[in-house]
């Protein structure tokens, strides 16, 4: 595994504070506290810059890099060019591209302000036909780019995180299974093992599909997700994680009219949180006849739609009590790798 063996921690006032679903004000304060990208290690202690053909001109700001047959959108805060920042790998779902994913998570701006390089891969072909092939060979191409980015941007190995929605959520589960030694925490959304409609490999936590080590996981699924990635798949996924890692329920730690956040822990610091919500979308899923998104949506998203090739906005249509992109970033900030 090509894990970069260095650690420089970006200063963050909220890194020791467990996140909770809410209005996001505390998260915004934490982001503001890291906007200067200050590092608590001397640049002289960091490894030298690495030249890589997949990154012909690494620079601050936004860039799209072609590598291994994919195009990757990369957002780099100016403070991260000298190394020592964290990294978030944010993967879109089917029919989507990196721009559509960011319209829902807004992690380029949110993560950048908190001292993270943000990478969002684009599936092939272009939207609306875009889809990731869930094979070991294709996953390896995406992970190879991530590994290269860790070296090129001299990323703090204690703050490498991954999230994804739908197909990106399935990939997040698979990368948890296959590369647990690389990530500090992961946050899959709207994806689970053994769903009857979409038989996409994830991480069953059985047999050979067990992560090599335990790490914090935030998992989200909509209760109204019936036609796309069924909510009934969520409980078997939760049960498998809890049983395999020997976690104990701490009950519901936060809730509102349309969401519940449940936590499981163990004495060694293990953590699994499940964020279920009742929000939905009436958008029709054009590539699956007679179905709607229903609960297969991003709570709190303001995505207006209308991007090139975009079939629909994946935002939940009701005003939400939490915003998924805010909760993901708060979870990542609070859970660097020890």
**Span 28-42, pLDDT tens digits:** 333 333 333 334 445
Residues in the chain: 338
**Mean model confidence pLDDT for the chain:** 86
- Of 243, 237, 264, nearest to 252 (Cα)? 264
Q: What is the pLDDT of residues 83-136, one digit of tens each?
A: 999 999 999 999 999 999 999 999 999 999 999 999 999 999 999 999 999 999
- What is the CATH number that goes with domain 62-334? 3.40.50.1820
Half-sphere exposure of 170 (CA within 13 A, CB side): 21
Residue 194 has pLDDT above 50, yes or no: yes
Q: Which pLDDT score is estimated for 286?
A: 59
* Cβ-based neighbour number of residue 268 at 10 Å: 8
pLDDT score at 255: 97
The answer to whether 10 and 157 are in contact (CB under 8 A) is no
For range 303-332, the mean pLDDT? 94
pLDDT one-digit tens code per residue, 219-275: 999 999 987 789 999 999 999 999 999 999 999 999 999 999 999 999 999 999 999
Structure tokens at 101: 């994913």
Range of weakest confidence among 71-75, 274-278, 288-292, 318-322: 288-292
Q: How far apart are CA 159 and CA 43, in angstroms?
A: 17
Q: What value does the mean pLDDT take over residues 303-330?
A: 94
162-178 pLDDT, tens digit per residue, is 999 999 999 999 999 99
- Determine the pLDDT at residue 290: 59
Q: Where are the domains of the chain?
A: 62-334
At residue 285, the pLDDT reads 63
Residue 22, pLDDT > 80, answer no
Mean pLDDT of 3-12: 27
pLDDT of residue 291: 67
Question: In this predicted structure, what is the pLDDT of residue 288?
Answer: 60
The residues, any chain, with a CB within 8 Å of residue 140's CB and separated by 6 or more, are: none
Cα gap 45→47, rounded to integer Å: 7
The pLDDT score that the predictor gives to residue 327 is 98
Q: Sorting pLDDT into bands at 50, 70 and 90, what band is 46?
A: low
Mean pLDDT to the nearest integer, 128-157: 97
d(CA 211, CA 174): 9
Contact residues for 305 (Cβ-Cβ < 8 A; gap 6+):
312, 313
What's residue 23's pLDDT? 37
What integer pLDDT is reported at residue 29 of this predicted model?
35
Helix (H, G, I), strand (E, B) or coil at 232: helix
245 phi and psi angles, rounded to 5 deg: -95, 0
Percent of the chain predicted with pLDDT > 70: 82
Residue 330 has pLDDT above 90, yes or no: yes
State the pLDDT confidence band at 150, using cuts at 50, 70 and 90.
very high
């Amino acid at each position: 595994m090509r894990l970069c063996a260095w650690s420089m921690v970006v200063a963050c006032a909220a890194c020791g504070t467990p996140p909770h679903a809410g209005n996001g004000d505390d998260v915004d304060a934490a982001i503001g506290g890291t906007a200067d990208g200050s590092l608590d290690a001397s640049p002289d202690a960091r490894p030298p810059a690495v030249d890589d053909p997949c990154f012909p001109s690494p620079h601050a700001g936004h860039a799209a890099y072609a590598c291994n047959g994919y195009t990757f959108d990369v957002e780099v805060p100016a403070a991260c060019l000298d190394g020592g920042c964290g990294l978030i790998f944010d993967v879109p779902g089917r029919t989507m591209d990196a721009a559509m994913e960011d319209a829902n998570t807004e992690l380029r701006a949110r993560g950048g302000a908190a001292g993270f390089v943000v990478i969002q891969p684009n599936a092939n072909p272009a939207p609306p036909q875009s889809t990731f092939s869930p094979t070991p060979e294709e996953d390896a191409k995406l992970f190879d780019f991530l590994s290269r980015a860790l070296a090129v941007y001299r990323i703090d190995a204690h703050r490498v995180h991954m999230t994804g929605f739908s197909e990106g959520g399935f990939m997040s589960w698979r990368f948890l299974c296959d590369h647990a030694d690389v990530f500090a925490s992961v946050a899959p959304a709207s994806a689970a093992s053994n769903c009857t409609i979409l038989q996409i490999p994830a991480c069953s936590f059985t047999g050979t599909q067990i992560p090599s080590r335990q790490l914090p996981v935030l998992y989200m699924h909509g209760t109204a997700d019936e036609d796309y990635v069924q909510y009934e798949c969520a409980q078997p996924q939760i049960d498998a994680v809890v049983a395999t890692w020997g976690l104990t329920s701490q009950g519901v730690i936060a809730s509102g009219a349309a969401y519940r956040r449940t936590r499981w822990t163990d004495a060694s610091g293990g953590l699994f949180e499940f964020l279920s919500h009742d929000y939905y979308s009436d958008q029709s899923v054009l590539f699956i006849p007679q179905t709607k998104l229903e609960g297969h949506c991003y709570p709190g998203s303001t995505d207006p739609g209308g991007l090139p090739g975009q079939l629909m906005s994946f935002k939940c249509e009701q005003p939400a009590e939490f915003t998924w992109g805010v909760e993901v970033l708060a979870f990542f900030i609070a859970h660097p790798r020890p």
